[in-house]
Structures are given as structure tokens and as C-alpha cells.
Structure 1
Amino acid sequence: MKPADFDYFAPTTRGACLDLLGELADCRVLAGGQSLLPRMSLRLERPRAVVDLRTVPGLADRYVGREGALAIGCMTRQADLLADAGIAGRHPLLASALSFVGTVATRNRGTLGGSLAFADPCAELPAAAAALGAVVVLDHHGGRRRVAVEDFVTGPFRTSIGRGELLTSIELPSPSGRPFGCWDELATLQLERPYVGVGVTGWTDESGRVGGARVVTNGWLDRPFLLERAADALVGRTLDAVHVDVLGAAIRRDLAGERPATNLPRANVLVERLTRRIVAGLARDREVAHV
């Protein structure tokens, strides 16, 4: 099928882009097109206008921002982030999650900002960003505001972006200590949408003990969900000394009362198994690194 008729705009300045977003009542922003364009072709979405960000300069920049945070422009390609050794070193969870995203072809076109703004419940990047404590920067003519990713995604394919606002960058806090992180997920077939994903991130001190951690799950809920008790179960221990029974009990308490957005049976069991597998793998990696 072909998309329904729409007006196409390619602004060449950030100000012109914000003007369009404020004036157009029914428009979508094109930041890479790997999610939006297929849905438009199937006529699942019929916006009256599309605003293309490719012609707006400066939206793929990366720089160190406030309090040492890494600011990543919304139009930064996923493939470029995956190839960046600095990302793997400072934010290994993001690098790990990127390796699960789509295919080489889609990563070459897909952008970090596009994935976050689309807010697919099965997408790896919104969940990984939430676990990393990332903040999205939303520009508008009156200034800008910053929103934590965990608050930015409000539901399946829904965010807190207001009319006239543009997601311009994502800020990743500077990691403490020695960062660690890993993403894993389950899918029926390779390249199928994952039905359960889990990410673990944190940092260790010089003795190898976990000083801080965050655990997130996605896919089977309507939004990324942070497992706070599971993260607490990792803190104060070396990764190879985490009590799996304590970790499992913490995960079950975190997920008590959460209603799956899919018909996935025993999702909490799968989350527990994935989390244990990730922690065991991180412990092995640390052991090998110190041999």
C-alpha cells in the first residue's frame, strides 16, 4: 500500500521547525522513518503533514553538557552509536541494547531520538535510556524543558511531548566508578519483536562491589518498567556474590500487581531468568577481565 496524501516539510533551521510544529495541527516528525513510514504505508497512521528533520543542522551533534552528561543529538544514527567505543566504555548497557535493535539496514537509518519519541513498548532504546537515568531535552519557542525518560514515555506509542515541542537531544549522566551493563531479550524468531527484554546497568567501586544499579524490563508491559528492589539486591556485593534467591524474590515483589499488556504467560518468570542470566554473564566478564 501507499501512504495517504500528506504535506511534506523540510525546514532548514531549528526555529523554522518549531514554527511548523506549533502551526500544524496534525503532523508527525520524521527522524529516521524506520517505524513511522511503514505504519504510514499501511495507513495505520494518516498525518496531514510530515516534518523532516534531516535538513535541520546540529541535531546529530554529540558533546559533553551539564554536569558532565553526554548529550546526544536526536538525529544521531543508531549505527554510529553502536560503532562508538566511547559509548561502549561509558554506557555499556546502551551499546548492548543497540546490538539487539533491528538489522544493520535499519540501524543505518534509525535514530536514537526517533526510537524514543516513537515509544514502542518493545523497543530496546527507551528502556535502556530509562535504566541509564537519561533525560530528553524538549525545545519550544519559549525555551526548553528536560524530562526523565522514565516519565517521558507515558504508555504504548505515547509520550509527554507537547504541541510545538521538538525532542532535540538525549542526555546521559556521567557514570560513577567502573560502569557495567548488558541487555538481553527473548523473541520467538530472530528479527521478530521481542516479547520480554531486560537491561541491567550500574557501577562498581575499586573492590568490585556494586555501588549503584538499575534494572529495567520491557516488551510485555505498556512501557519500560524499572525494578527497584531487584537493583537494590545487587548493591553492596560483587556481581559473582549476588544471591540468586534474593534477587528472584526482589523481582517478584517488583512485578507484583503489574498487569501484562500482552497475552504472555508467566512473564515474571521470564524476567527473573533473563535477569539472572545477565548478572551471571556480567560476573563472568568481570572475572575474565581480571585474569
Structure 2
Amino acid sequence: EILAGLGLSEKIVGVTHCCDYPTSALRNAVVVTTSDVRPALLSQDEIHLRVSGALRKGDSLYALDEEALKLIKPTHIFTQSLCDICAVSAPLVNNTCARIFPTKQEDGSDKTKIVSLEPQSLNDVWETIRVAGRVLGVEAKAEEMIGGYVKDLQEVQTIVEGYLKTNAHIKKPKVAFLEWHEPFVTGGHWIADMMEIAGGRYTLNKTGCRSECITDEQLVQYNPDVILIGPCGFSVERATNDTLPLLNHSKRGPLWKNLRAVQDEKVFALDGNSYYARPGPRLVQGTGLMAK
């Protein structure tokens, strides 16, 4: 999404199996990763067990298609070392490329350049755009993108602050953002930054901290005014379907039923895949949705 925003869609020759937006950036791209985990066929609890088991054994959840990489001969590869659960790990990318690509390409150019991005906060996300722009020689476009996103977020914050000032009797709601609920996992990294701009009080996690599992009892003690559920990698439709059993109290019983947000019907399903889990341009839209 960042590369497309920089006007480089036509230069993208390879993507992961999770890359699905924007479609204009996928026309010439070959899928170079695979995974044995099929989220669409598993419950959140089943996915958690599969992932936890693989991590305990030291197994990778993903694989790189070496033949596909050889075929497309990329000059640059953008990867990440932020989360081994969400994507191919940087060590796997580095080791694979060191093995299959020569020191020099056939045309005499330097070997493939690998750029690892690992933003921890909203400002870090903008910095990754700056890094991509610098590496690919489109620094001016990168600064233009960042300026636009920062301006949009400032507009959201101004609207929220104006609303709270006009309605002085309304307090900022205490919000729980859950990126998983089998088990409960709090939104980390840039979520706290987004929440602050959107006008919510969010103390389940801090800016730059990883997502954390919490118990039912911890959520009850926190007792939020609003619960936002944006499961990592899931659409709003999947988030809704997975949340309905909670709202119907078929799981977790009175612990869930007695939460203030549940009693006040302030539980919302969100598109975690598009607007919250991916450290890219659409976090701006995600922040606007939070504010709404």
C-alpha cells in the first residue's frame, strides 16, 4: 500500500499471499509466500492454538517460494521484523535471498537490496514511508504523502476536540480495543496513538508496546465504556460473525454480560485487516472510524 501510494504500483513484481490492496498494485505481481494456516476455515481459538504451537516448536508459519523469487529477480525487497505471526520473518527473507541471489545480478547491478520496516507507533509508520521514498528515489512524493496523512489526522483531532468542548458534560470514553478474543488480546503499537487522536481513553496498552493477552477478569476490572473489536487480519464481516456469540452471552457468561459497554450496547466490530493491523496509509481512515 505504501509503494502504491508512492506511485510505484507498476514496479511491484512480487507480493505476499496476504497482499490484497490496492488491486492496481497486484496486476503484475507474483505471490511469493505461502502459509499452512487457513484463517477462513478456523475459529479464533483454533488459529491461536496453531500459531502458539508453531512458535513453541520454533517453526515458521510461512514459507517463501524460492523459484518465484528467482523468476521475478527483484532489485528491492521490503520486509518486516515487527511480528513473526503476521508475516514472513526478516531472518527468513535474509537467509533465503543470501542463498538464491548472487552478489551481482546478471546485468551487473548489485544484488537485491532488503529493507526491513518495523514501526512501533504512528509516527514510526510515517517514517517507514520516508524510508521507502528515500530507498526508491521518490523522497518528495513520500513527504507529500506524509504531510497529507498528518493533516487528515489533525482534522480528525480538531473535530473531536471541538465536539468535546461544545459538549463539556461528555467525558472521553474508556475504550477497550481487542485485536483478538480467543483469547482476549489488546491492540498494541500504533493503536494507542490512534485512540488518543480519536478521543478515547485507552490504558490497556501503551504506544509502541506489543499486543498483550489479558484475562476475562482483567477486562471486567477495566470495565470499558466502549469495546472495539478489530481482529488482526479479519474483515468487518468476520469480526461481526465472531463477536455475535459474545453478545449472545453464549460464551464467558456473566463476566461479559455485566460489562458496561455490553449493557450500553457500545460494542463495535471493525475491519482490523484494512484499518488497524497494517502499518500503512489506511490507519488514517481507521482513526476516523474510531472517532465516529
The interval holding the TM-score normalised by the smaller chain is under 0.3
Higher helix fraction (1 or 2): 2
- Structure of larger gyration radius: 2
Question: What TM-score does the superposition give when structure 1 sets the normalisation length?
Answer: 0.28
Question: What TM-score does the superposition give when structure 2 sets the normalisation length?
Answer: 0.28
